Amino acid sequence: MSESRCHLALQRGRSVKKLRTPLLLLLLGLLLIAVGTFWSGQQPERMAASVCQSKSSGSSSVAAGPDGALWFAERDANKIGRIGPFGTLAEYALPHPDSQPEGIASGADGNLWFPEKRGNRIGRISPSGTITEYPLLHPDSQPEGILAGPDGTLWFTEQDGKRVGRISPSGSITEMPCPQ
């Protein structure tokens, strides 16, 4: 895993000075995998080798799915990953190349939602792996970050669009300018 950017610097003699929330969530996911590995009888070395199947995946965030799995966006690999309750890894390639998924959130509709920064879309993946994409209203908005709202919609930010957007479970998008 030396070529992967999804490694953990927990080797002897190294120190981690700054832990970010995605890294902490990934560590939590690894802990859950280890517990699942123990209960399922899988070999820990096989589990550790499969955490990031894609070299330089650029995993950017983790969300708990309605299926009991941990889902994560692989920005550089252009995939959405899933780690099942017993450590099984699955990856789902996005339909458009270089979409750069940037974040992921579990929606009230039972799906996982993610912004595609370079693709200028919001994507939805079902627990079975079916991907649907919704284009944004303005070109080159570069959506980043997403979270579920209390009303069942999902909210995201647009880095270059200087807007906040909302998407309904049916895919209806509303964008609002940020105050100057």
Q: What residues does each domain of the chain span?
A: 21-177
Residue 29 banded pLDDT, cuts 50, 70, 90 = low
Query: Domain 21-177: which CATH class?
Result: mainly beta
Pick from 151, 93, 90, 155: nearest CA to 122: 155
The CA distance from 91 to 84, in Å, is 11
> 125 falls in which pLDDT band (50, 70, 90)?
very high
Mean pLDDT, rounded, of the chain: 78
pLDDT at residue 2 in the model? 34
Per the CB < 8 A criterion, the answer to whether 160 and 139 are in contact is: no
Taking 70 as the threshold, does the pLDDT of residue 91 lie above it? yes
Residue of 95 and 25 predicted with greater confidence: 95
pLDDT tier, 31 (very low <50, low <70, confident <90, very high otherwise):
low
Residue 79's pLDDT is what?
95
Using one digit for the tens of pLDDT, what is the confidence trace for 32-60?
A: 555 454 444 444 333 333 344 455 677 77
38 vs 177, more confident: 177
Q: How far apart are CA 32 and CA 2, in angstroms?
A: 23
Percent of the chain with pLDDT over 90: 58
